[in-house]
Chains A and B, each alone.
Chain A
Amino acid sequence: MNGIDRGSFLPVGGAPTPISESEQTRKLKSTLLKDIQRSAYVYRVDCGGCNGCEIEIFAAITPIFDAERFGIKVVASPRHADILLFTGAVTRAMLTPAQRAYAAAPDPKICIAYGACGCGGGIFHDLYCVWGGTDKVVPVDVYIPGCPPTPAATIYGFAVALGLLDQKLKTSHHQQGESERALVAHPGLPLDLCVGIEREARRMAGYRDGRRIADDFLEILAAPATQPLAERVEHYLKHEDDPRLAEIIARLVDVSAQPAPGDRR
Chain B
Amino acid sequence: MFKLLKTVIKTGEATTRYPFAPLTVSPGFRGKPEYDATQCIACGACTIACPANALSMATDVEQGTRTWELFLGRCIFCARCEEVCPTRAIALSPEFELAVGNKEDLYQRATFTLTNCRDCGRPFAPSKEIDYAMALLVNSGLPEAEVGAQRAHFETCPECKRLQSIPDSAKLTLSQPTLKGDAL
Contact = CB atoms under 8 A, between A and B. Distances in A.
Nearest to B87: A182
Given A65-B18, A160-B100, A174-B109, A123 B76 contact: yes
Contacts of A64: 14-16
Contacts of B38: 177, 180, 182
A185 interface: yes
A66 B15 contact: yes
Contacts of A167: 99-102, 105
B52 A122 contact: yes
Interface of B: 14-16, 18-19, 23, 28, 32, 37-41, 51-54, 71-77, 79, 82-83, 87-89, 95-113, 127-128, 131-132, 135-136, 139-141
A48 interface: no
A125 interface: yes
Interface in A110-150: 113, 116, 119-123, 125-126, 133, 135, 140-147, 149-150
List 8 A-B pairs, minimum CB-CB distance, nearest first. A119-B73, A157-B99, A191-B140, A174-B37, A147-B76, A174-B110, A120-B73, A207-B83
A184 B141 CA distance: 13
Given A133-B73, A176-B112, 15 more contacts: A64-B14, A113-B73, A116-B54, A119-B73, A145-B75, A160-B100, A167-B100, A171-B105, A175-B111, A180-B38, A181-B132, A182-B38, A182-B131, A190-B141, A209-B28
B131 A192 contact: no
A125 B76 contact: no
B87 A172 contact: no
A234 B97 CA distance: 38
